[in-house]
């Protein structure tokens, strides 16, 4: 991914919030005969397994799990990987700018986490499964818990592989019209938040946050 100072996302806290809010990730491993790609949920991890985005270090440490067969294809733990976290994104029409000359573009927030993951043992993997369920069930009025089916969950957990990735390199970008005049970028955010055919409130919120911080 092209690194550009204008769009660089370097705030560790914002990176953690990106992971916390967009946990469906892409895992890529460079194999001898081409890339291997899997899709999987990931969580923040630090200090006793907490996934609180307000806590953590300079890089977002993540945990995740995938089917054991997929982990074997990746040779997970033996090779370096890239985990892609895709945040809000969407099409921007020139008509949103209410100015000329402009062309269409795509605004987005994304992070690439590079490193070599550590494989977790069976008990730590089960803890990742439990935490993953808890994380995504939080929004429900009556959250379902993995512990409600412990015998069954334990019986299938052995077919999964858990891992922890402490990135050795992070490349993150939030391309949110920062290069445009402030009033023009604000009009795009308003369009995305309104009744435009390409309405995208989450992307509008990200743009407005970038406008406020100037980052």
* Residue among 51, 58, 65, 43 nearest 12 (CA): 58
Contact between residue 60 and residue 16 where contact means Cβ atoms under 8 Å apart: yes
Q: Is the pLDDT of residue 1 over 90?
A: no
Would you say 62 and 18 are in contact if contact means Cβ atoms under 8 Å apart? Answer: no
Which pLDDT does position 215 carry in this prediction? 62
Quick one: pLDDT at residue 47? 63
Asked if 44 contacts 19 with a C-beta cutoff of 8 angstroms, the reply is yes
d(CA 20, CA 109): 13
Q: How confident is the model at residue 53 (pLDDT cuts 50, 70, 90)?
A: confident
Q: What's the rounded Cα separation, in Å, for the pair 179 and 5? A: 11
pLDDT above 70: percentage of residues in the chain: 98
Cβ atoms of residues 176 and 212 within 8 Å: no
DSSP single-letter state for residue 138: T
- Model pLDDT, residue 51: 76
Q: How many CB atoms lie within 10 A of CB 128?
A: 24
Model pLDDT, residue 48: 60
Tell whether the model's pLDDT for residue 108 goes beyond 80. Answer: yes
Residue 23 has pLDDT above 80, yes or no: yes
**The two three-digit tokens of residue 45, written as one number:** 């991890």
Give the per-residue pLDDT at 106: 98
What is the Cα–Cα distance from 155 to 56, expressed in whole angstroms?
33
* 107 pLDDT above the threshold of 90: yes
Cα distance between residue 29 and residue 46, in whole Å: 24
Is the pLDDT assigned to residue 164 strictly greater than 90? yes
This prediction has a pTM of 0.93
Tell whether the model's pLDDT for residue 57 goes beyond 90. Answer: no
Confidence of residue 138 (pLDDT cuts 50, 70, 90): very high
Predicted confidence at residue 56, as pLDDT, reads 80
The yes-or-no verdict on residue 199 having pLDDT over 90 is yes
């Amino acid at each position: 991914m092209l690194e550009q100072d204008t769009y660089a996302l370097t705030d560790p806290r914002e990176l953690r919030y990106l992971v916390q809010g967009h946990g469906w990730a892409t895992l890529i491993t460079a194999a001898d005969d081409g890339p291997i790609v899997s899709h999987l949920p990931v969580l923040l991890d630090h200090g006793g397994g907490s996934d609180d985005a307000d806590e953590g270090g300079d890089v977002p440490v993540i945990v995740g799990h995938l089917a054991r067969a997929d982990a074997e294809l990746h040779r997970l733990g033996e090779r370096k990987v890239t985990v892609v976290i895709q945040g809000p994104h969407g099409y921007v029409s020139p008509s949103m700018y209410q100015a000329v000359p402009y062309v269409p573009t795509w605004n987005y927030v994304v992070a690439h986490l590079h490193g070599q993951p550590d494989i977790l043992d069976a008990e730590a993997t089960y803890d990742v499964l439990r935490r993953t369920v808890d994380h995504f069930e939080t929004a429900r009025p009556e959250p379902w818990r993995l512990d409600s089916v412990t015998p069954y969950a334990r019986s299938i957990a052995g077919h999964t592989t858990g891992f922890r990735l402490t990135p050795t390199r992070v490349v993150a970008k939030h391309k949110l019209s920062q290069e445009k005049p402030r009033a023009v970028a604000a009009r795009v955010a308003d369009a995305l938040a309104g009744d435009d055919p390409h309405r995208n409130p989450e992307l509008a919120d990200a743009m407005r946050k970038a406008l406020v911080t100037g980052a």
